[in-house]
Amino acid sequence: MGTFVLTPDEMREIDRWTIKEFGIPGFTLMESAGRGIVEIIESECEGDKVIVCAGGGNNGGDGFVVARYLLNRGYKVLVVFTGKFSKLKGEARKNYLLFKKLGGEVVKLHDFDMAYLKEADIIVDAIFGTGFKGEVKGEIADLIDVINQQDACVVSVDIPSGVNGLTGMVGKTAVLADITGTMAFPKRGLLLYPGRFYAGEIYVIDIGVPYNIPFEPPFRLLDEEEFYLPFKLGNEHKGKNGKLLVIAGSSGYTGAPQLVADAAQKIGAGLVYLAVRKEVYTQVSAKIIDPVVVSYENYSDIERLIGEFEPDGVVFGPGVGRRDDTVNILKMLLAKKDLPLIVDADGIWTLSELKHIEKRDKVAITPHPGEAALLVKSPPHDIDRERFAFALKLRERTGFEVVLKGNPTILSTSYGNYVNVLGNEGLGKGGSGDVLSGIIGGLLVQTDDLSNALLAGVFIHALLGDILYEEMNGPYYVPHDLVENIHKAMGVLND
């Protein structure tokens, strides 16, 4: 089924159900959470001097469990309590008392000399949980600022304190963790920027929540179990490996068509036909080696080419320009209801110019927030901040399957809704999206499965970015590098 990505409210409901309906006590869940953090610390952090910063809620209760186990295993542990003892309740209070009974030392934040943080090898952040909203203020803000100045291994419990668990937003300050151990399922705020930056390396801790939770959250992590790759017997010829028509390129935009077409052929499409504007045909065809390059002037030419080539799918939009006649081309493509279609880049603008979008199957759009803004009439900044909601809104607005590009990329498909957390800043370059369109298109014509092509294409593209990031010691690759190294990502997946 895959790993669900939850909102804080969804996690609270699952906790409530686990305790009340399934019968696992809250104390047991807290114990499992703390032990999971301890396992991470013992595996990833060095040294034995530990300061646990614990708040007054359940997150602080997890922190007291961590403190107790570490103390019992020979670590030198001090707990800095940021809440009020009079308000410490339930399982959190029980674990505070157990830590004290073991001989653990607890000091209130008001009485704590923050200079002692310099002596810590490990700092555990258990101040605020995933339900935190707004600004961190006062002494706690000062504490977090000092934590962020230390060289210690900083481990956050569930989410870095100060990060909004739903939106990933951060006010004036938040804990900058090296590692975050989150409970049961990843939370949206850990995957959305800037929260993802503050979280460091994310571990998901199994705390014993049953797998058969009483509802299905709408989003899952995208991993290689969610899609399949084209299967080959070994005797396929070019016609059997799928035919893709790419409609791309115009004056001033001659790089995009090459990236799309080459990526499609590199990923395995048998035949790639590249249709470019007549005014750039000579320029583009001089650079293209493998795909077949043809020219067109209007939508009638495109309709003729479709009849001639009989493609199994179409990629429309990269670099076609924003012209009135592209509207007629898109209308014609949408009217061919049995022809799978991927609409990208300038094609998104073209789609926004249609007065009425007739919903049909076998169409996907792949906008970044700036392009998505044309369809939902919201500022790109808002779309970027609320990626989950806007991916669904785009699906509802158009009726088409959606890849909302960015970090993280959000997909809404007939298979379900997914979050892709692979990839890095090196993919944020002009032309990277064209490579993605080509990969998706190439996979589409080999499998005749649009949803699968979207999932596989996004995953392969991001995995490739991570492979090149590691090889080049940073984001120092360009879109052509992505095309040339597609085989490396495929090698990892086929291993």
For 169-199, what is each residue's pLDDT tens digit?
999 999 999 999 999 999 999 999 999 999 9
- pLDDT band (50, 70, 90) for residue 233: confident
> What is 8-217's CATH topology?
Rossmann fold (3.40.50)
The pLDDT of residue 295 = 97
Section 286-313 average pLDDT:
95
- Residue 432 and residue 155: Cα distance in Å, rounded? 34
**Confidence class of residue 239 from pLDDT cuts 50, 70 and 90?**
confident
Give the mean model confidence (pLDDT) for residues 86-96.
97
The answer, yes or no, to whether residue 240 has pLDDT greater than 80, is no
Q: For residue 429, what are its two tokens?
A: 């370059």
461-485 residue pLDDT tens:
999 999 999 999 999 999 999 999 9
Mean pLDDT to the nearest integer, 385-408 = 97
Task: Give the tens place of pLDDT for each residue, 267-281.
Answer: 999 999 999 999 999
Cα-trace Rg, the chain = 26
Q: How far is CA 96 from CA 9, 38, 40, 61, 65, in A?
A: 26, 16, 21, 7, 8
User: Distance (Å, rounded) from C-alpha 331 to C-alpha 325?
Assistant: 10
- Write out pLDDT tens, residues 202-231: 999 999 999 899 999 999 999 999 999 998
**Domain residue extents for the chain:** 8-217, 224-494
Confidence (pLDDT) at 385? 93
Instruction: Quote the percentage of the chain above a pLDDT of 90.
Output: 95
**pLDDT recorded at residue 48:** 98
Tell me what percent of the residues of the chain surpass a pLDDT of 70.
Answer: 100
pLDDT of residue 167: 97
Q: Which residues contact 132 (CB under 8 A, 6 or more apart)?
A: 159, 161, 162, 163, 164, 165
Using a 10 angstrom Cβ sphere, with 0-12 exposed, 13-18 middle and 19 or more buried, the burial of residue 182 is buried
Helix, strand, or coil (residue 333):
helix
In the prediction, which pLDDT does 296 show? 96
Q: How far apart are CA 114 and CA 128, in angstroms?
A: 19
User: Residue 353 above 70 pLDDT?
Assistant: yes
Tell me which residue of 441, 395, 429, 398 sits closest to 247, measured CA to CA: 441
Assess whether the previous peptide bond of 194 is cis (omega < 30° from 0): yes
**Domains 8-217 and 224-494 alike in fold:** no
- Total residue length of the chain: 495
Mean pLDDT of the chain: 96
> Which numeric CATH code is attached to 224-494?
3.40.1190.20
Residue 1 pLDDT > 60, yes or no?
no
The helices-and-strands tally (H runs, E runs) of the chain is 19, 17
pLDDT at 359: 87
Q: What is the pLDDT of residue 236?
A: 75
What is the full DSSP assignment across 363-385?
EEE---HHHHHHHH-S-HHHHHH
Bridge-based pairing state of the strands 313-316 and 341-343: parallel
What was the pLDDT predicted at 129?
A: 97
What is the four-CA torsion angle of 8, 12, 14, 19, rounded to 10 degrees? 160
Average pLDDT over every residue of 109-128: 98
pLDDT at 220: 98
Residue 235 pLDDT more than 90? no
Q: Are 483 and 290 in contact (CB under 8 A)?
A: no
> Residue 143: which of 59, 213, 51 has the closest Cα?
51
d(CA 318, CA 156): 42
In which band, very low, low, confident or very high, does the pLDDT at 131 lie, cut at 50, 70 and 90?
very high
What does the pLDDT read at residue 358?
86
Q: Does the pLDDT at position 237 exceed 80?
A: no
pLDDT at 447 over 70: yes
Chain segment 243-270, per-residue pLDDT in tens: 999 999 999 999 999 999 999 999 999 9
